[in-house]
Structure 1
Amino acid sequence: PDRIEIVPPGVDHDLFAPGDRGAARAALGLDAAGPLLLFVGRIQPLKGLDVAVRALAALDRDDARLAVVGGPSGADGPAELRRVRAIVDGLGLAGRVRFVAPQPHARLAAWYRAADVCLVPSRSESFGLVALEAAACGTPVVAAAVGGLRTLVDHGHTGFLVEGRDPAAYAAYAGEIVGNPVLAGEMAVSAAARSGRYRWSMTAARLRRLYADLTARSLVECR
């Protein structure tokens, strides 16, 4: 363990930063009213989009919507997209789920700011960049308690972590956030502040120090 050092990636805080939710929704052509849940990522079985869709169905808010920003990825991606669309239709959610193609970073930041909650129901995550980007924009995250998400999400303070894959658990936590403006506001502030620990400048500085240390240890005297 003393020979292993983990250097996390960062986020561009010039792009991913808190902003006015109403303005973000207007810029994206979204309705101003009603809770907006957000899923960002590749559409493949690993990412758990089906859980996000079922969470919307379980949420006791008929005015809630889900935006899915991303596209199919990998050999299983197209089939997974078809499967999820079938789930959407089967649950009668076609009018409440919007699929959006992958977005450039500047546009993606607007989606984070427009959302009330970002859902990250991945089966596994080595880090969880989506959760970090959402937090940097001041959007509370409800995420699977796996991998790097356990570090990025401070349970009860910047969002919630879900043990297991029960959509009802995601719905309950999302409902707690959208139903309590005070809690949502506190989480937004805490999430943005915590995300400040992850900056590309910090990542670069740690890598420089690491390589400098390794280089110093590896110096060989030439005779």
Structure 2
Amino acid sequence: MTDPAQIDVIAPNFKKRLSGVTATVIRLVPLQARDIAIATTGPELPADMPQIPLSRLPFMSRSGPSGARVWHARRNIEMLAGLGLKYLLGKRLKLVFTSASQRHHTALTKWLIRQMDAVIATSDKTAGYLEREATVIRHGIDTDSFCPAADKPALRRDLGLPETGPVIGCYGRIRAQKGTDVFVDAMLRVLADHPQATAIVMGRATEKHQAFEQGLKDRAAAAGLSGRLLFLPEVPVWEMARWYQALDLYIAPQRWEGFGLTPLEAMACAVPVIATRVGAFEELVAGGQTGTLIAAGDVDAMVAAANAILDDPARLAVWSQAARRHVLDHFRIAQEAAAITAIYRSLLAQRG
């Protein structure tokens, strides 16, 4: 565990379950720790991360080594905790909030955001929903970890997947909002057109969405495709790169999304993407170069886009190379980390 007295920046992660925010914290904090004294705090974090136990926060010194510390929240509960530490327990904190949401905020969230010393938006669309100045810093990817497979057939064999034939993936929470049903309906048709193809749904359905997930499995079974339309359990963040590397095509079928990191993870592994026009996807996927953009909820468009690229292996190969280059040029996590750390340093330089 890290000594709070040596820490200038705290990036809390108060959610136990895997989420895009959790993945962001897990990837960013170790990288930022090379350049600034930062630690995270929260339940069930990887043991090798710099972190402070939640129980020690009320008892940490009032100030950090540089004076006021930075508290970087990404959820309402984390903004509330920062305010509590600052105003109830007297800790000297500069408060930062990152917003990925693309919707109008509740009165409580608006009030919390007004209390922040700095606000970061993960896309231009997100910034448009904030009623105050924000710095746009798009998410980036660890392109060393998320990279093309050296031996895709061997990797697939190790993962228990078919070594040959196209493999299409859809990863993340299983629920209607994420468009998992759209993906399944499209794959029932695409797999019929491509007898050698396999499709993967990987993720977790929370309790209230388990009936929804079972319904999707039943559709695959009724079509006789249970062996080719696979439903796999969620895996830890640090294992995800291998599952992208095994793919030929990734589909992000969301009906709504705040930012949406999965297309970047796929493209970093040289996997082209079909994505809906939600979240930041239009700012991430270069249509006609690294993938295709379609309307949310449009099964016919998803089928047409998937068939078009699977039927054209030469174009798929070109898009694969372009996808990797696109992420290297514009969405490396080092760029994101440096931009956020610059905001930390600016706040730490301020008096008070």
TM-score by length of 1: 0.89
> Counterpart in 2 of 1:22?
153
1:55 and 2:191 aligned? no
> Counterpart in 2 of 1:67?
200
Which residue of 310, 317, 320 maps to 1:178? Answer: 310
What is the identity percentage for the equivalent residue pairs of Structure 1 and Structure 2?
Answer: 33
Tell me the CA shift for residue 157 of structure 1.
0.6
> Counterpart in 1 of 2:263?
131
Give structure 2 stretches of 5+ with no counterpart.
1-127
> Counterpart in 1 of 2:141?
11
Which residue of 329, 333, 346 maps to 1:200? Answer: 333
Structure 2 residue matching 1:68: 3-state secondary structure: strand
Pair 1:27–1:107, CA change in 2 (3 A): farther
Indicate if the aligned counterparts of 1:39 and 1:52 stay in contact, CA closer than 8 A: yes
Tell me the CA shift for residue 50 of structure 1.
1.0
Q: In structure 1, what residue type is equivalent to 2:136?
A: I
Q: In structure 2, what residue type is equivalent to 1:128?
A: G
Structure 1 residue matching 2:168: 3-state secondary structure: strand
Pair 1:134–1:192, CA change in 2 (3 A): same
Q: Distance in 1 between matches of 2:344 and 2:165?
A: 50
Q: How many residues align?
A: 218
Give structure 1 stretches of 5+ with no counterpart.
none
Please list, as runs of the form range in 1=range in 2, the aligned pairs for 1:136-175 lying within 5 A after superposition.
136-175=268-307
Structure number with greater Rg is 2
The one of the two structures with greater contact order (alpha-carbon pairs below 8 A, sep at least 6) is: 1
Q: Distance in 2 between matches of 1:44 and 1:50?
A: 8
- Deviation string 1:38-97 (CA, Å, 9 cap, x unpaired) is 111111221111111111122221222211111113x53212212211222233322221
Pair 1:181–1:106, CA change in 2 (3 A): farther
Structure 2 residue matching 1:192: 3-state secondary structure: helix
Pair 1:9–1:164, CA change in 2 (3 A): closer
Which residue of 42, 48, 61 maps to 2:173? Answer: 42
Tell me the C-alpha RMSD between the 2 structures.
2.0
